[in-house]
Amino acid sequence: MERKYLYKDFPKQFTWNAGSRRWNRRVLKPQRGRLVSANLAEGERYYLRLLLSNVKGPTSFEDLCTVNGVKCPTFRRAALEIGLMENDDCLSQCLTEASLFQFPKALRGLFATIWIFCKPGDVRKLWNDHFHSLSEYHRLHCVYIHRVQDMILANIRGFLQSMGTNINQFDLPKITKDVKLQYAMHREVQDEYKIVVEPEHLSARDSLSFDQKIVYDEIMTRVDNDRPGLFFIDGPGGTRKTFVYKALLAQVRSCGIIALAIASSGVAANNMPGGRTTHSRFKIPINLNNNSM
């Protein structure tokens, strides 16, 4: 009879007796059980939670992994066999449709995003099935297929690095070490150099107030003389601190220098050209628990 309950529903009907190490029928009012949350990026931990939320009356981890009398090697495979998740066909179809209207570089970016956030079961098969679309541009300029493959992998590696992931985590061909690649510069550096300096931000220095001009000149003096410095710009809301930031960023970038605009929140980062949150820019791990806000 107990096998009819889901893992999360068991506390409604039973209580655990630590002394006898047995479950006893609950006599008072039912209690609600819950499962610890798990993100798709956590891999097997996520699929274990998925199985516990849908498979009734499991007796062990091995029981959870057994489908129709056959033991699956992973929780993910078991969830796939039961029908709790879709296979990679939908991901392959997504890439096929995208190849009809997206340029190869954008398609490679989509490919990397799918690897990270959709967790395909067979990465190598997706690679083999869509290699022709991913390599369309490079094959027009290079007849050596191994070099084309290396250039594509190097490009995808840049996308993965920008999202804090290593390409070696995936089942993909290895990049040939004795081939010099076009993408020697890191993608982050390329992205920074591509930031367009708005003329209105560059001319903002002419509209600075007296106090703002003091801050601007002090910081730019350090930049121009290649001297390190640490500054805090403080003031109540409405004193145009962001206006000063934009003027500084525009001036520094117009000199061909990279300026990383970061903020602790997404809203603040969005107010600055090329801005990103600190934890995203520097890949700072954020450990979440049930009490995180």
Q: Give the mean pLDDT per block of 10 residues along the chain (293 residues).
A: 66 75 72 66 76 78 83 82 73 84 86 81 86 85 79 84 80 69 56 80 88 90 89 85 90 86 86 85 76 72
For 206-230, the pLDDT digits (tens) are 888 888 899 899 999 998 888 888 9
Q: What is the pLDDT of residue 180?
A: 47
How many CA atoms lie within 13 Å of 234's alpha carbon, on the beta-carbon side? 2
pTM of the model: 0.44
- β-partners of residue 24 are 15
How far is residue 281 from each of residues 86, 123, 159, measured CA to CA in Å? 32, 27, 14
Cβ contacts of residue 196 below 8 Å, gap of 6+? none
